[in-house]
Amino acid sequence: MVSMESIVPRVKKALLEISKAEHRFPEVIAQAEKVDWYENFSSGYKGLYYFIPISLSKKYKRRLRVAALDTPQVRKVSSQIFQELRKEGVRDIDDILTLCDALLTRWSWEYRTIAFDWSFRVRKHYEPRHFQAFETWTTLYLATWGGVDDYCTHTLGHFFYTYPEFTPRIRDWAKSDNPWILRAAAVSLIYGLRRGVHLEYIFDVADAMLLDPRKYVQNGYGWMLKEATKHFQNEVFEYVMAEKTVMPRRALRYAIEKMPKNLKSQAML
């Protein structure tokens, strides 16, 4: 079994190797004095950056920060190491999720992306007992809209679709003060809505967030309603018409985006 302690340096090494081999600006990173983690204090997440010294004057110098990786590169590393782990005999879902935990605790968007990718790759082996771990990830490791959407439209969405008896828990999430948990409550229903289920939850979730002033929350439940129109257009239209005088315009525009023009016109009046 690959240990939690060894997986982090292994992944970092692979990330650095692909960055140096495929970076868009090789002539820029060749000037870098070091590569290190930079923390985005507004979100708490870290990312891997090259630091390049530049002189603005004789007395004033600073370091230019250049992102080391983009998402396709990270996903390429994720696939590569996951296949290596399988060849090494690491196939049990609990072993994989343990490694995901080790990556998530590093609070880097690169590690987070890989952890969520691996957790979705073992989706055929989800069991009800895994809900506790997935809910813990929801409350601890979601702090950006990208992380929420990646995790909730894949791992968490598939879990709720497979085990609908856990879906009522979303109503509790929709009462949270944390905007990322609120967005997770809405976005985690999208996987099932695209497959024609979860209608019974979307209006409770939308009601709970209806007047929230935060844009990522409004975008989240608006997106949920939009995806619901694929199978439940009439029900969503009725809801929008009943609430359009108080629903923020941002959420309203998202909700009606896929509706016919005549319905959009009525909703926007």
Domains of the chain: 4-67 (no CATH), 126-268 (1.25.10.90)
What does the alpha-carbon distance between residue 69 and residue 18 come to, in Å, rounded to a whole number? 8
Angle at 214 between CA 211 and CA 215, to 5 degrees: 105
What does the pLDDT read at residue 136?
Answer: 97
pLDDT along the chain (269 residues), means of 10: 83 90 82 68 68 75 81 96 96 96 91 97 98 97 92 98 98 96 98 98 98 96 98 98 96 96 93
Helices 71-87 and 109-121: angle between axes, nearest 10 degrees:
50
What does the pLDDT read at residue 44?
Answer: 55
What does the pLDDT read at residue 106?
Answer: 87
What does the pLDDT read at residue 64?
Answer: 77
Using CA atoms, how far residue 16 sits from 12, 13, 82, 237, in Å, is 6, 5, 17, 49
What does the pLDDT read at residue 50?
Answer: 83
The pTM of the whole model exceeds 0.85: yes
What does the pLDDT read at residue 30?
Answer: 81
